[in-house]
Amino acid sequence: MAGSPSRAAGRRLQLPLLCLFLQGATAVLFAVFVRYNHKTDAALWHRGNHSNADNEFYFRYPSFQDVHAMVFVGFGFLMVFLQRYGFSSVGFTFLLAAFALQWSTLVQGFLHSFHGGHIHVGVESMINADFCAGAVLISFGAVLGKTGPAQLLLMALLEVVLFGINEFVLLHLLGVRDAGGSMTIHTFGAYFGLVLSRVLYRPQLEKSKHRQGSVYHSDLFAMIGTIFLWIFWPSFNSALTALGAGQHRTALNTYYSLAASTLGTFALSALVGEDGRLDMVHIQNAALAGGVVVGTSSEMMLTPFGALAAGFLAGTVSTLGYKFFTPILESKFKVQDTCGVHNLHGMPGVLGALLGVLVAGLATHEAYGDGLESVFPLIAEGQRSATSQAMHQLFGLFVILMFASMGGGLRGLLLKLPFLDSPLDSQCYEDQVHWQVPGEHEDEAQRPLRVEEADTQA
Amino acid sequence: MAGSPSRAAGRRLQLPLLCLFLQGATAVLFAVFVRYNHKTDAALWHRGNHSNADNEFYFRYPSFQDVHAMVFVGFGFLMVFLQRYGFSSVGFTFLLAAFALQWSTLVQGFLHSFHGGHIHVGVESMINADFCAGAVLISFGAVLGKTGPAQLLLMALLEVVLFGINEFVLLHLLGVRDAGGSMTIHTFGAYFGLVLSRVLYRPQLEKSKHRQGSVYHSDLFAMIGTIFLWIFWPSFNSALTALGAGQHRTALNTYYSLAASTLGTFALSALVGEDGRLDMVHIQNAALAGGVVVGTSSEMMLTPFGALAAGFLAGTVSTLGYKFFTPILESKFKVQDTCGVHNLHGMPGVLGALLGVLVAGLATHEAYGDGLESVFPLIAEGQRSATSQAMHQLFGLFVILMFASMGGGLRGLLLKLPFLDSPLDSQCYEDQVHWQVPGEHEDEAQRPLRVEEADTQA
Amino acid sequence: MAGSPSRAAGRRLQLPLLCLFLQGATAVLFAVFVRYNHKTDAALWHRGNHSNADNEFYFRYPSFQDVHAMVFVGFGFLMVFLQRYGFSSVGFTFLLAAFALQWSTLVQGFLHSFHGGHIHVGVESMINADFCAGAVLISFGAVLGKTGPAQLLLMALLEVVLFGINEFVLLHLLGVRDAGGSMTIHTFGAYFGLVLSRVLYRPQLEKSKHRQGSVYHSDLFAMIGTIFLWIFWPSFNSALTALGAGQHRTALNTYYSLAASTLGTFALSALVGEDGRLDMVHIQNAALAGGVVVGTSSEMMLTPFGALAAGFLAGTVSTLGYKFFTPILESKFKVQDTCGVHNLHGMPGVLGALLGVLVAGLATHEAYGDGLESVFPLIAEGQRSATSQAMHQLFGLFVILMFASMGGGLRGLLLKLPFLDSPLDSQCYEDQVHWQVPGEHEDEAQRPLRVEEADTQA
């Protein structure tokens, strides 16, 4: 049905073998390297004289659960908007994130917390692993519908490594502050995916154009994703910030920023819409830009007003991006950005990085008091001035863009290898390439996959 | 398409300008008045000698997140039951709540926590703001499908102010106890919306009657809303109660009350249903009445039995309301209550207020011990007897009904101003008036909006 | 419409009367026996000199909320996969769980915490009640579509009692450890349901076969259930474990196990699928087996590698079960297992019990240190060797299988009583038997229920 018999046979084995290999290798590495940390190990925890209430679990786990819901429910359903790609959107999100969180536990562990020959894990590593999975899913959004699951797993395999290195360079070598990941998660994930999408450019993609839109119900499913991302974003940005006022302030700032980006999105969507009508694509996506834009600065003394202003700006820019820039991105730059990640994660991520530069540059001992230590330790310890911190933040942005672009490009070339499970140009955005799909209605036999014509790409 | 060209042009600008104005004004007021409180501010928090575990964030934030999910997921999807109004239900919920939470931060701040020229915000103000947004959404339910987004924003603008004043009168001047808002949220929101709906009565609404029901899938989407409201209601009622046993008991009581209202609803729905069949409308709504009815009393020593009895009563009354009273409300009282908020929030809210009167009147030093201080401070301090507290609770109910009715009426008259974006009688309950709507199936062009005939109202 | 007039009249009264009777009886028992425990009672809590932060509410309630979401959202929507049984799946889940949690509060209370003539309730009893509701819903999955709500309530009435007794025998008499319920919840619930399904075997069920599959959208709704179960399973297994490192480690192990079972499921699903295509049924269910399989052992020192290996094994076995064993179960063993609970809960539950035997047998004082007391108190106190604990765990498994089989069988015979609301063979998997169902599309009148022919069973 989809291509020649040998191609089908290849697909039959490609995904299973890759899953089995990746899971087997990960398990072996876990056996050798991964150990409970002293807050999860039965013996180590009881060796200290701790109150159970002091276990980090109680400060971080509720936030972790919110992040976990965002990654699997939020990202998964947000991409269900395509009319015939719901199984793949939510299913491949599930597969990619389940792999990425294991693999990033290893990569981040080797880079950040490798002591005595072991990686020590606990709720903090769980959050970090989910964050990395989030970046992989952002990249997935840029190539959604045009890649097979084996391709995506390879993308994740390599992106996780690069994510870890990039994060290490920024946070540890440059001393950049980026608690909620405007830079390391959103900007990195978006430009990695966009460059990848550029390399995988399909000039014949209009053969699948009739499946590229939504239907009424798929837009409602996507709103499940949107709303869960929106409500839990305060937990995302605050999940790893300093305990106490730090976590509290980060959640508060994100809450305000998201509210303002929602109003900005509705305003602009109606303004640029046909007949003044709202566009669901804008609401589903641009209203979330408020969470992205304060990812770096929400732990800082952004002020509630600053959060509102930043969120409003992000919602506005993101909506305009969907309306005016996405078509240009495809026609002029040959980037087919299925979910518009450039508008939701790319531009707001860069704005968020710049906002971080600004707010860091304005940091004073007076404004932060003894809290300066937990937000800007290098300034508090006198190793850096606020201006120097700001310059480091700015430099970090360039490092990310370089890493993401090079990485995305290299991976894109790799993914063009002909044996991989890339769908034909006429079969993009179509679940039936990868799934056994029931009909739309009862009594309907399985819908035949329409192959418009022999595809030159095969 | 929908009305004359000038009307369309008006709509094009009305919503954007209103959003931009409201967001701009809010941001300016935030800049002038809103500051971090001492649990979110970096300098203030570290000035005290606090353990991070003492930060209120850890006691309230998990509850806040549940409330947040109820407001945006719960209310939003509960109203998706209409077959052609899903985008508007979930979208306008999103818009209204995002605005209301900002605006109520200001209004409640001025009334409740205005010190030294500033409003101080933290997790408690976030919960209060979401509560107020909840009241606005309850009112929205009464006029769902018959109002445009600009009308709704104006409704929210004015309702938030009245909500704040009403709450101030009850809680601060009258010393009423109402932790979970049976009175201040549900009764107020419901009667505000109902009076509004009365003033906006449309005698020609049968022109849109064919869109007023559900379809199979829209009822399943609505159940997402129902279930999320149901599971998180214990957090709603307990979010702002006294720490320790207070929060614990409130959650427990609400849990039992909801369970009993569910059984009551199934029993009555089958009993009054055609051929003994269950009605989805009852299950979606009346099963939640158990959360509403203990909003006032669940922090009190209601006893687990009391919670079951109250919940069962509420589920029963609410189901009977849907079956028998809603038609009368429309035919006799000219109130077109789209979501039946009178049955879910109105009657159970009043019952909840009366239950609060009863349980407060029965309060004794023996039953509450030293916990009396946190539930009934005025009784504990000897300023009031239990009977006097009960009388104050009862008087509070009349104050609310007066506030809500007058407020809803005045706002209704205001919203009848002819320049606003009210849909035509033949275009109610229809997303296409406000949204660019894709077809129901792939390959289907955008569905034409059927305008039955020239509408006299335009 | 469905059967004779007297049958319809019987149905009209059966469910209401049963609900009213059960709720009434439960309320009376609550009035007599159920009291707030010392962490929820206003007077008792303040009598001690507690810090509010010590209230168990803050350690358990966030986990409770996740469990609550799993029971009502997770189980409910997971079963919506059937094309014409969504109302019943989510609705009867709602009804059954709302009743089971009340009833199990009483049963578990009498068995586990009956002191001074009273049952004392708080967040721990809420979690236990939800766990029991989970077991009932697992059994529901085996008979989904073939039973009426009154039958199901009777099933729950009796299963809850047996669940309580079985749990009491295992945990209290045998000293079995089973924090996340691989044995007491999953194995028990599955085999109870399977034996019940065997007794209720319908040889003519092919008359409803055309409704037994999914449609595109129902599979997406089911994925909502899957993903919420998957993300919150770490909270399920850890909800009642020892505070501190115990809860932390349990959540971590479950997280890894689920990730590995997801990769195992995708691998096997593609391997055994037609043309190498993935099957949604596998992804929706088998990916969750990783949560089931570590229910017993995740609180132990399973090691992260052990969690991955167990999860991978469970995902693999479960997928193979759906592909190869479910058809045999029906054709050879006459068990019509609608949701495949044997694959998701039965086999992974037994595997989880055996894994518990293994990990308990390997327990050493060295590995657990002072934490041994909280995981294996009988070993720590020197009453048992690790090997003896392992043997007790193994014996516990046989006790469960015996209890579940006998219980399921007896109840099955009871439910065959002719006056109950069992649907006809030609009307299984059909919402219209129990619900007023709107059409699939607007303007469509209520769909007629197709009764293929006179049914011999009636």
Q: pLDDT, tens digit, for every residue of C29-81?
A: 999 999 999 999 999 998 877 888 889 999 999 999 999 999 999 999 999 99
At C291 the pLDDT is 97
Q: What is the pLDDT of residues C136-164, one digit of tens each?
A: 999 999 999 999 999 999 999 999 999 99
CB contact under 8 A, B267 and C126: no
Quick check: A343 pLDDT over 70? yes
What count of residues does chain C have?
458
Residues of C in contact with B215 (CB under 8 A): 438-442, 444
Helix%, strand%, coil% for chain A, nearest 5: 70, 5, 25
Q: By CB neighbour count within 10 A (0-12 exposed, 13-18 middle, 19+ buried), where does A116 fall?
A: exposed
Q: Give the closest-approach CA distance of C18 to chain B in angstroms.
A: 8
Interacting residues of C252 by C-beta distance below 8 A, sequence separation 6+: A36, A40, A121, A122, A123, A126, C234, C304, C307
> How far apart, in whole angstroms, are the C-alpha atoms of residue A265 and residue A286?
6
CA B308 to chain centre: 23
| Inter-chain touch A264–B23, beta carbons under 8 Å | yes
Q: Do C1 and B211 touch (CB under 8 A)?
A: no
Residue A134 Cα, gap to closest chain B Cα (Å): 20
Q: What is the arrangement of strands in the sheet containing C114-115, beginning at the earlier edge strand? A: C34-36, C118-121, C114-115
A:B CB pairs within 8 Å: 228
Is C370–A43 a contact, with Cβ atoms under 8 angstroms apart? yes
Q: What is the pLDDT of chain A when averaged over all its residues?
A: 90
**CB-based contact C276 A12, cutoff 8 Å:** yes
Chain B residues with CB inside 8 Å of C94's CB? 227, 230, 262, 283, 287
pLDDT grade, residue B418 (50/70/90)? Answer: low
Of C62, C219, C255, Cβ closest to residue A62? C62
Q: Indicate which of B61, B136, B223 best probes the interface with A, i.e. most A CBs within 10 Å of its own CB.
A: B61
User: pLDDT tens for residues B157-208?
Assistant: 999 999 999 999 999 999 999 999 999 999 999 999 999 998 888 888 888 8
Chain C neighbours, 3+ Cβ pairs < 8 A: A, B
Residue in C248, C301, C312 nearest the CB of A39 = C248
Of A1, A47, A121, the CB nearest to C275: A1
Burial of residue B115 (CB within 10 Å: 0-12, 13-18, 19+) is exposed
pLDDT, chain B, mean = 90
Residues of B whose CB is below 8 A from C221: 220
| Residue B435 region by backbone torsions, left for phi larger than 0, else alpha for psi between -120 and 50, else beta | beta
**How far off is chain A from B130, nearest CA to CA, in Å?**
11
The alpha-carbon gap from B453 to the nearest alpha carbon of chain C, in Å, equals 18
B306-360 tens-digit pLDDT: 999 999 999 999 999 999 999 898 888 888 999 999 999 999 999 999 999 999 9
Both tokens of B456, joined, read 């006299």
Using CB atoms, list chains with 3+ pairs below 8 Å to chain A. Answer: B, C
A-chain residue closest to C307, CA distance: A27
C258–chain A nearest CA distance, Å: 8
List % helix, strand, coil for chain B (3-state, nearest 5). 70, 5, 25
- The CA-CA-CA angle for residues C38, C44, C48, to 5°, reads 95
- Confidence band, pLDDT 50/70/90 cuts, at residue C11: low
Residue A43 and residue C280: Cβ atoms within 8 Å? Answer: no
Beta-carbon separation of B371 and C43 below 8 A: yes
Angle (CA) A79 A82 A84, round 5°: 120
Q: List all chains that touch chain B, counting a touch as 3 or more CB pairs closer than 8 Å.
A: A, C
Predicted ipTM of the assembly:
0.94
* Cβ–Cβ < 8 Å for C143, C411: no
Q: Do C66 and A61 touch (CB under 8 A)?
A: no
C330 to chain A, minimum CA–CA distance in Å?
22
All residues of chain A having their beta carbon less than 8 Å from the beta carbon of residue B17 are 267
Residue A441: pLDDT band with limits 50, 70, 90: low
Q: Given this model, what pLDDT does residue C275 score? A: 83
Q: Do A45 and C371 touch (CB under 8 A)?
A: yes
Specify which residues B114 forms β-bridges with.
B119
Q: Which residue of A has its CA nearest to C250?
A: A40
- Residue B429 to chain A, least CA–CA distance (Å): 15
| DSSP class of A332 | T
Q: Is the pLDDT of residue C412 over 90?
A: no
Best of B44, B436, B447 to substitute, by most chain A Cβ atoms within 10 angstroms, is B436
Q: Look at residue C422 in the predicted model and tell me its pLDDT.
A: 83
Q: How far is C435 from chain A (nearest CA, A)?
A: 18
> Of the candidates C15, C34, C41, which has its C-beta nearest B245's C-beta?
C41
Residue B145: its chain C contacts at CB < 8 A? Answer: none
pLDDT at residue A444 greater than cutoff 80: no
Residue B364 has pLDDT above 80, yes or no: yes
Which of the pair, C217 or A5, is modelled with greater confidence? C217
A273 φψ region: left (φ > 0), alpha (ψ -120 to 50), beta (else) = beta
Instruction: Write out the H or E segment, with its range, that includes residue B221.
Output: helix B216-238
> Which residues of chain A have a CB within 8 Å of the CB of C308?
23, 26-27, 30, 102
CB contact under 8 A, A256 and B102: yes
Minimum mean pLDDT among A360-374, B55-69, B374-388, C403-417: which range?
Answer: C403-417
Q: Is the pLDDT of residue A454 over 50?
A: no
CA contacts within 13 A on the Cβ side of A101: 33
Average pLDDT over residues C421-449: 75
How far apart are the CA of B333 and the nearest CA of chain A, in angstroms? 34
- In whole angstroms, give the CA distance from residue C238 to residue C296: 10
**CB–CB of A183/A349 below 8 Å?**
yes
Beta carbons of A40 and C245 less than 8 Å apart:
yes
One-letter amino acid identity for A430?
E
Q: What percent of chain A has pLDDT over 90?
A: 72
Q: What is the pLDDT of residue B445?
A: 43
CB atoms within 10 A of CB A452: 12
Q: What distance in Å separates the CA atoms of residue B350 and residue C84, rounded to the nearest whole number?
A: 38
Residues of A in contact with C251 (CB under 8 A): 57, 61, 123, 126
Note the pLDDT tens digit of each residue in A47-57: 877 888 889 99
Query: Which among C227, C267, C308 has the least Cβ separation from residue A20?
Result: C267
Contact C16 B270 (CB under 8 A): yes
Suggest the residue from B60, B262, B320, B375 to mutate for an interface test with chain C (most C CBs closer than 10 A): B262
Residue B420's pLDDT is what?
75
User: Do A230 and B72 lie within an 8 Å CB cutoff?
Assistant: yes
B235 contacts in chain A (CB < 8 Å)? none
| Inter-chain CB proximity A68 and C375 less than 8 Å | no
- Chain C residue with the nearest C-alpha to that of B209: C443
Chain C partners within 8 Å of B370 (Cβ):
43, 46-47
Is residue B102 within 8 A of residue A256, CB to CB? The reply is yes
Residue A384, pLDDT > 50, answer: yes
Strand residue runs (E) in A13-132:
34-36, 114-115, 118-121
Question: For B248-274, what is each residue's pLDDT tens digit?
Answer: 999 999 999 999 999 999 999 999 988
Q: Cβ of C13 and B276 within 8 Å?
A: yes
Nearest to A231 among B39, B61, B69 (CB): B69
| Angstroms from A234 CA to nearest CA on chain C | 17
Domains of chain C and any CATH numbers: 26-39+57-433 (1.10.3430.10)
pLDDT of residue A424: 87
Residue bearing the bigger pLDDT, C202 or B132: B132
Shortest CA gap A116–chain C (Å) = 17
Percentage of chain B beyond pLDDT 90 is 72
| Residue closest to B182 by CA, chosen among B394, B421, B10 | B394
